[in-house]
Amino acid sequence: MNFWINILASGVSTGTALLFATIGELFAERAGILNLGVEGMMLMGAVTGYGVAYASGNPWLGLVAGMLAGAFLSFLHAFVAISLRADQVVSGLSLTFLGTGLSLVLGEGLSKAVGVQTIPSLTVPLLSQIPFFGPILFEQKSLLVYVGYVLTPAAWFYIYRTRPGLHLRAIGEYPAAADSLGINVFALRYFYVLVGGALGGLAGASLSLSISPGWYSEFTTSGLGWIAVGLVIFAQWNPFRAAIGAYLFGSLRRLVLDLQGEQVIAFFPNPFFQDRNLQFFLEMIPYALTIVVLIIGSRQALRRRLGAPAALGIPYVRGERGL
């Protein structure tokens, strides 16, 4: 029982960073802007947050700095994609290269930093005593996990039950119609791309300051930004489905690590323990499953348009017919 509790608890913790990035990308895509620069924004958030926390001794200041770094990087994408109406795929990929390169330069020497204050842990009294679910959900090593619990329903309520959320869906579905009703399509698209960038920066900073404290160059994120982009499609642009996908992926990553240390699995010798070369294939499982889910989700989205914004990736030009 403890084996599965540890795996699921770690999955919730790691999945929280992935959840921040996924919901940030979800907001941007709901506004009609595809941003493939999530990995770069996460790396910039991680290195900026860790560096500021090291310099100031305040992890919360580092967290804010990480969000600002992600938002600044996303502003570059917004300018290129919205104002210049350039190809959003190319711009997003460039953002990832830029963020990765900048983070490696800025993070030079940070891997040896010691004494950096991190985000404190929190155990919720009484709720943490609930059998099985208590230790998984309410005995977490990071306060940010509880922020994720609040963010998911808040994002869903904002998108589907508020007037600003209606405007968000309108500019992603029918920007011309929204413009005709007086909604500022360009300003709102800028705003939601910045929101996505800030959440991407928060995801990176939560990794370096809480979930796996430290700066490990590009290995700090280990490709989670790309997973976040895929999870948006898996989630069909729904925050609750995004949370499920993020926590499942986080649990799979921990399961892969724990399986490597087990000598026996279901009364049989563990081949991954006996032959260390097989661990490379074991570590591929979470990413391979994500690719499979992404392919299936993409085919469903293309066939039935399950939640995909109609104007996603299409630059809006005022006065043109259509979207």
Q: How far, in Å, are 49, 53, 170, 175, 260 from residue 61 at the CA level?
A: 8, 7, 35, 37, 37
Q: pTM score, two decimals?
A: 0.91
Confidence at residue 307, expressed as pLDDT on a 0 to 100 scale: 64
pLDDT tens digits, 65-114:
999 999 999 999 999 999 999 999 999 999 999 999 999 999 888 888 87
Confidence at residue 6, expressed as pLDDT on a 0 to 100 scale: 84
Q: How far, in Å, are 175, 207, 294 from residue 201 at the CA level?
A: 27, 10, 23
Confidence at residue 199, expressed as pLDDT on a 0 to 100 scale: 97
Q: Indicate if the pLDDT at residue 23 is higher than 90.
A: yes
Mean pLDDT of 255-276: 67
* Residues linked to residue 140 through DSSP beta bridges, in sequence order: 122
Q: Is the separation of the CB atoms in 140 and 121 below 8 Å?
A: yes
Q: Indicate if the pLDDT at residue 291 is higher than 80.
A: no
Q: Mean of the per-residue pLDDT values for the chain?
A: 87
Burial class (CB in 10 A: 0-12, 13-18, 19+), 205: buried
pLDDT tens digits, 221-263:
988 999 999 899 888 899 999 999 999 988 888 887 777 666 6
CA dihedral 170, 26, 229, 83 (to 10 degrees): 50
Mean pLDDT of 199-219: 91
pLDDT tens digits, 102-155:
999 998 888 888 778 889 888 888 888 888 889 999 988 789 999 999 999 999
Confidence at residue 255, expressed as pLDDT on a 0 to 100 scale: 81
Q: Domain segments of the chain: what residues?
A: 14-123+135-225
Specify the higher pLDDT residue, 300 or 233: 233
Share of the chain above pLDDT 90, in %: 54
